[in-house]
Amino acid sequence: MANVKLLEYLSPLIPDSAESVSLLVSHFEHKVLQKGDIVLKEGEICTAFYFVESGHLRTCYNKEGVKINMHFHLEGSITSDHINGKAGIPSEFTIEAGEKSEIWVLNRETLVELCHADPKIMIFGRRLLSRILVDLSAHSNLFRMYTPAERYQYIEKNSPHLLQRVSLSNLASYLGMNRRTLTRIRAKK
Amino acid sequence: MANVKLLEYLSPLIPDSAESVSLLVSHFEHKVLQKGDIVLKEGEICTAFYFVESGHLRTCYNKEGVKINMHFHLEGSITSDHINGKAGIPSEFTIEAGEKSEIWVLNRETLVELCHADPKIMIFGRRLLSRILVDLSAHSNLFRMYTPAERYQYIEKNSPHLLQRVSLSNLASYLGMNRRTLTRIRAKK
DNA sequence: ATAATTTTGAGACTTTTGTCTCATAACGAA
DNA sequence: TTCGTTATGAGACAAAAGTCTCAAAATTAT
């Protein structure tokens, strides 16, 4: 039940206080997932944050029966369909394990309660939200401003590990191109 | 110096209090823009929110010398490069008037000060931010999940007025396609 | 109103991307 | 290790999107 990555992620977000950190950590629920295990299903309301301790989660949606990947979250990152979840809107996304994974789940309601109970956790809550939104917005700008081929080059340069972890078909749908096109891009060069 | 749209936008976001509303409104700066006038230039740090009272603003970036449109904000909506601006990061975007426009500018610093001075404005501030982020995230999901052609159909259905206001070339770059392709889409049907 | 400028639609051609297919390679389970 | 399943690379063709171009509208300024 490792939580090294979790602590690494939380520490910079919470004012230094052993009690607050351990109070916070104690409310994360540990889960072990096999490849394909679903964390959030399309149509459900997202009620939690999912931190990846090991393995990875993929967020995808259904496009005329085909699964299209929106995000991959490797170990050390956190995901959620927070904006819709908070508003009580069913998610269009499914979040599932892309491989055997260990995750830590923090219920949104629980976090709200902790925020009221502990001002340091309140600060954490704000920083967490802000970080999630900043990451999300950076990610979506990247996808808006780059062509599929540029996205591939970006990934190659900035998170090459992802290429080892995700199948070509999954990567292709993530980049917004056909598998054949991705093969071509890799072929030349 | 009309502010009808501005009041319409602010009212639902601020707890009922004539004083707070008028305090807030008094800190918006009125500007009249001619087509092409620049509100925020690529490379500058965005320090304000821009509310469109009439006309529209376009947000674009430079892609190898070509201007690509990211957003159009028609009258009654608000825009900003808030996330980067807040972090002190120079914007990659230029925001300019797409036609003769009237806008209301609210400085971010000013808003922060008002938040400290008036708890009702604090509530407003939170709601404003949340609304901006929700809109942004909905918009970017839409662009991520739809093909260029589907985006056109979406606009046609949900904001047909935009088609009357923006030139085909500008619309095409907004939708992520070539002008020729947009012409083809409109031709069939 | 008239001239100058900008925008538009569409033909002809090129390039890119997608579909279908299949043999080979890699992987997972018994 | 072996068998069955899934992933990969690539050929052949089809479809879609992009480039270049230009004449006809539409818009703007004088």
Q: What does DSSP say about strands B78-79 and B48-54: parallel, antiparallel, or unpaired?
A: antiparallel
Instruction: Detail the protein residues whose CB sits closer than 7 A to any atom belonging to strand D.
Output: A 167-169, 180, 183, 186-187; B 147-149, 177-178, 180-181, 184
A133 close to B (CB below 8 A): yes
- Per cent of chain A over pLDDT 90 is 95
Report chain B's C-alpha Rg in angstroms. Answer: 17
Closest chain B C-alpha to A78 CA, distance in angstroms: 17
Judge: B70–A144 Cβ closer than 8 Å, yes or no. yes
Chain B, nearest residue to A147 by Cα: B176
* Residues across chain B: 189
Please write the tens of the pLDDT for every residue from A137-148. Answer: 999 999 999 999
Per-residue pLDDT of chain B (189 residues; tens, 9 = 90+): 789 999 999 999 999 888 999 999 999 999 999 999 999 999 999 999 999 999 999 999 999 989 999 999 999 999 999 999 999 999 999 999 999 999 999 999 999 999 999 999 999 999 999 999 999 999 999 999 999 999 999 999 999 999 999 999 999 999 999 999 999 999 986
Q: 3-state SS of chain B?
A: CCCHHHHHHHHHHCCCCHHHHHHHHHCCEEEEECCCCEEECCCCCCCEEEEEEECEEEEEEEECCEEEEEEEEECCCEECCHHHHHCCCCCCCEEEECCCEEEEEEEHHHHHHHHHHCHHHHHHHHHHHHHHHHHHHHHHHHHHHCCHHHHHHHHHHHCHHHHHHCCHHHHHHHHCCCHHHHHHHHHCC
pLDDT beyond 70 at A62: yes
How far does the CA of residue A62 sit from the closest CA of chain B (Å)?
10
Under an 8 A CB cutoff, do B137 and A61 touch?
A: no
Task: Give me the pLDDT at residue B17, please.
Answer: 85
Q: Which residue of A has its CA nearest to B87?
A: A134
Interchain CB distance below 8 Å, B134 and A61: no
Rounded to a whole number of angstroms, the distance from the CA of A143 to the nearest CA of chain B is 7
State mean pLDDT over A158-179: 97
Q: What is the pLDDT of residue B189?
A: 66
Q: What is the pTM (predicted TM-score) of this model?
A: 0.94
Is the pLDDT score of A188 beyond 90? no
B47 and B107 Cβ atoms separated by less than 8 Å: yes
Domains for chain A: give ranges and CATH numbers. 4-118 (2.60.120.10)
- A122-133 pLDDT, tens per residue? 999 999 999 999
Going by pLDDT thresholds of 50, 70 and 90, the confidence category of residue A35 is very high
Report the share of chain A in percent with pLDDT over 70.
99
Asked if B83 lies within 8 A of A140 by C-beta distance, the reply is no
Bases along strand C below 7 A from a protein CB = 6-12, 17-20
Q: What is the CA radius of gyration of chain A?
A: 17
- pLDDT value at position B1? 76
